[in-house]
Structure formats: C-alpha cells, structure tokens
C-alpha cells in the first residue's frame, strides 16, 4: 500500500518535473515518508529526539527546495539525501554530540533491549544473549564510523538499498560506496570478532 | 577444508558481492558458512533493532505531521510579512530618490582665483576713478558741492556713489 502511494506521488512528481512538488501534495509526501526518514536518522544518530527534530527539519528543507526538485531522482531518494546530509551536519557539531551523548547515556541500553526482542524467540538464552551483544556491538561500531561510511552502512543494512541506489542517493561513485561499505563491514567484523577460537588463516594455504 | 575465507572475502560476502571462488567455498565449508551467517545475523539484527526503535504509535506520526505543517504555515506567513516589509522599504527608498531627483540642482561654481582676478580687473577698468584715488575724488566732489551751495549749507548729501560720473 505504502509502496503504491509512494510510487504514485513519485510518478506524479516526475511527470511534472518542471513544476517541482506542489504545496498541496506536501502533506501526503510527509505522511508517506516520515517513518523512513525518521528511521534513517535514528540509525545514523542513535538519538530518538534528534531523529524526530531532524525529520521535521528534513521536510521543512524539502518544502523550501521543492521547486528545485526536477524529478531526476525518486522523491524518496531526494528526501533520504536531505536526511543524510542533515545527519552529517548534526554529527559535525561535536560539542552538541558530546552533550547529547552525556545526557542520553541512560538511553544507551534501549537499543539492546530492543535487540533482545528481535532475537529469535526459539533460540537458546545463551544464543539470544550473544545476539543482543552482537547487535549492540554493531550499534557502537556504527557510531564510530565516519558520517559518510555511516550513511552508506545505514542505507545498505537498515534500508536494504542496492549499491546503485545508495550511490544515487548520496551522489557518490559506486566505487566509493563499495569502499565505504567494505571499511564499515570490516570494522563490524573486527568488533564482533570470531566466535570460535580457531585461528583463521588470512590466506589460503 | 584446508583453507578458509580471508577477511576480504568475508567482507565481500557481507556486502553482497562474493567472488565466484568465495561463493563456491562457502557452499562447501560449514565453518565459513556458519561464520558468514553469524555476521549476517548481527547486521540483520542491527537493521531490525533500528526498525524496532523507530516504531512509534500512529498518534506520534500524526503529531509530527501537524508540527511540520504548522512550521510551514508559520514560515509562509513570516515570508509574506518579510516580503511586504521589503516592498514598503523599497517604496520609501524610491520615493526619497524621486524627491531628490526632482529638485533643481544648485549651481555651485568652484572658486577660481584667475576668474576672480579678471573680474577685479574688469571692475577697475569700468570705474572712472582708480580705486586708489577714490578718497581724493570724494573730497573733490564735496568741495565742489560746498562751493555751489554757498557757505552754511552742506553735509546733507550722501556724496557720489562709486563710479558716478562727475
């Protein structure tokens, strides 16, 4: 349902490329995409309040720039691009990030609790605990990634976008996207480590 | 198996672009497959955790929409006010500019010492008595008047004006 409506607005916007997005369409646009934008921002910032604030900011920016939307990309691609740029700018403000982290330290347990819910209910308690720890480790790795790498990682593993779409959204070369993704995945793998203690060969022998 | 996937190959599998050799190995090696599945599960768990954390009640989304639209309306109203204020300022500036443009320009001739000297020379040439002899001419005129009117009468006339023919 959501996809159909999204496509409808997207197609409508594309067919009237020269006019940009009409003001009366905007409420519908917000309704269709606010969840996704909020999710991307939450994954990038790990701060629900900031994600909410920047979601609003994202749509306000989009409204201001709606006449410049020429339909070359899909509406959702355009919105996600604005959101990722906002998250990047937000992350640049280190002082704000420091205070936000300091004030939100108590909230840090929240994703772990949520991760517990996504763990397989059929899994053993030991496996569920391991899964929780691994998801928490991924969260902490994502926080340490550069804004660019974080954007690529989130779009790949949260939004499950193909690499080409990530490249279009972030206006990057596909090679750059792959490079960022490899670094991010490598960081995750190193953080999670190997479950078994067997020494792995780094080259076939 | 005599060998296992390298870290780079593992990363390629996680990114979703495994090489042919890695894919073939993965199909045969239970240990590497298990490791890849564990890492995939961690990444998938992260995605699911974010989805879960971003889930809000429908009321929240409705509130957020209202907040966004309210800000848009405020912004539009503010923009309109600013546009009106700008237009008014422009009008006032235009009126002031027109007012000053309508006033005749005052001719301000800059002081020219050569011109002043020429004027002085011309004045001297026009006058019958050189300026240095004007006191003597005045005295002569008064004596002449006194003689014409006789004794006891005199001093009533104001004397000749400068340049008056005698």
Name the CA dihedral angle for A183, A188, A194, A200, rounded to a multiple of 10 degrees. 0
Distance CA B54, CA A71 (A): 28
Please state the ipTM of this predicted complex.
0.70
Quote the pLDDT of residue B128: 74
The pLDDT score that the predictor gives to residue B130 is: 73
How many angstroms separate the Cα of A11 from the Cα of each of A16, A21, A42, A67, A71?
A: 9, 11, 28, 16, 9
Closest residue, chain B, to A119 (C-alpha): B45
A155 falls in which pLDDT band (50, 70, 90)? Answer: very high
Between A105 and B63, name the one with better pLDDT. B63
Cα→Cα distances B89→A119, B92, B95, B99, B148, Å: 64, 5, 10, 15, 78
Q: Which range is least confidently modeled, A53-57, A72-76, B123-127, B144-148?
A: B123-127
Dihedral of CA atoms A160, A163, A169, A174 in degrees, nearest 10, equals: 160
* CB-count burial class (<10 Å; 0-12, 13-18, 19+) for A151: buried
Give the Cα separation of A112 and A134 in Å (integer). 9
Residue ranges per structural domain of chain A:
1-102
Q: What is the mean pLDDT of residues A96-114?
A: 53
The per-residue pLDDT for B66 is 92
- Is the model's pLDDT at B6 over the cut of 70? yes
Are the C-beta atoms of A109 and A63 separated by less than 8 Å? no
Cα separation, B135 vs A189, in Å, equals: 118
pLDDT, position A3: 43
- Contact at CB, A56 and B68, closer than 8 angstroms: yes
The minimum CA-CA distance between A138 and chain B, rounded to whole Å, is 7
Average pLDDT, chain A: 76
Task: Please list the alpha-helical segments (H only) found in chain A.
Answer: 2-15, 26-45, 48-64, 75-92, 94-103, 109-118, 125-144, 147-157, 163-170, 174-192
Taking 80 as the threshold, does the pLDDT of residue A138 lie above it?
Answer: yes
| Residue B52, pLDDT above cutoff 60 | yes
Q: Which residue of A lies nearest to B57 if distances are taken between CA atoms?
A: A35
Residues of A (25-54) whose Cβ lies below 8 Å from B? 26-27, 30-31, 34-35, 38-39, 42-43, 48, 51-52
**pTM, to two decimals:** 0.63
Residue of B nearest to A53 (CA): B64
**Stronger pLDDT, B137 or A165, i.e. the higher one:** A165
- Angstroms from B91 CA to nearest CA on chain A: 27
CATH topology of domain A1-102: Rna Polymerase Sigma Factor; Chain: A (1.10.1740)
pLDDT at A21: 67
- Return residues 136-165 of A near B (CB < 8 Å): 137-139, 142, 154, 156-158, 160, 163
> How high is the pLDDT of residue A192?
81
């Amino acid at each position: 349902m959501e996809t159909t409506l999204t496509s409808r607005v997207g197609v409508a916007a594309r067919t009237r490329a020269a006019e940009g997005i009409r003001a009366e369409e905007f409420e519908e646009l917000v309704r269709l995409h606010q969840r996704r934008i909020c999710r991307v921002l939450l994954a990038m910032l790990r701060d629900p309040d900031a994600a909410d604030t920047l979601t609003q900011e994202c749509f306000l920016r989009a409204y201001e720039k709606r006449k410049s939307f020429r339909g070359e990309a899909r509406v959702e691609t355009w919105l996600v691009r604005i959101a990722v740029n906002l998250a990047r700018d937000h992350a640049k403000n280190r002082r704000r990030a420091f205070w936000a982290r300091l004030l939100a330290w108590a909230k840090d347990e929240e994703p772990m609790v949520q991760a517990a819910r996504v763990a397989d209910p059929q899994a053993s308690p030991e496996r569920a605990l391991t899964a929780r720890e691994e998801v928490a480790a991924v969260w902490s790795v994502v926080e340490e990634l550069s804004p660019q790498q974080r954007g690529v990682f989130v779009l790949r593993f949260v939004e499950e976008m193909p690499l080409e779409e990530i490249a279009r959204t972030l206006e990057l070369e596909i090679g750059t996207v792959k490079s960022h993704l490899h670094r991010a995945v490598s960081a995750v793998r190193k953080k999670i480590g190997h479950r078994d203690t067997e020494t792995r060969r780094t080259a076939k022998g | 198996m005599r060998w296992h996937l390298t870290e780079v190959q593992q990363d390629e599998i996680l990114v979703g672009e495994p090489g042919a050799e890695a894919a073939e190995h993965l199909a045969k090696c239970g240990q590497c497959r298990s490791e890849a599945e564990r890492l995939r599960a961690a990444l998938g768990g992260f995605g699911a955790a974010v989805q879960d954390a971003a889930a809000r009640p429908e009321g929240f989304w409705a509130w957020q929409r209202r907040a966004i639209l309210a800000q848009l309306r405020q912004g539009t109203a503010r923009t309109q006010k600013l546009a009106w204020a700008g237009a008014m300022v422009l009008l006032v500036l235009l009126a002031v500019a027109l007012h000053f443009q309508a006033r005749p320009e005052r001719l301000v001739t800059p002081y020219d010492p050569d011109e002043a000297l020429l004027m002085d020379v011309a004045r001297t040439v026009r006058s019958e008595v050189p300026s240095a002899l004007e006191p003597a001419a005045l005295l002569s005129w008064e004596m002449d008047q006194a003689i014409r009117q006789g004794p006891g009468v005199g001093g009533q006339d104001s004397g000749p004006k400068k340049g008056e023919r005698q």
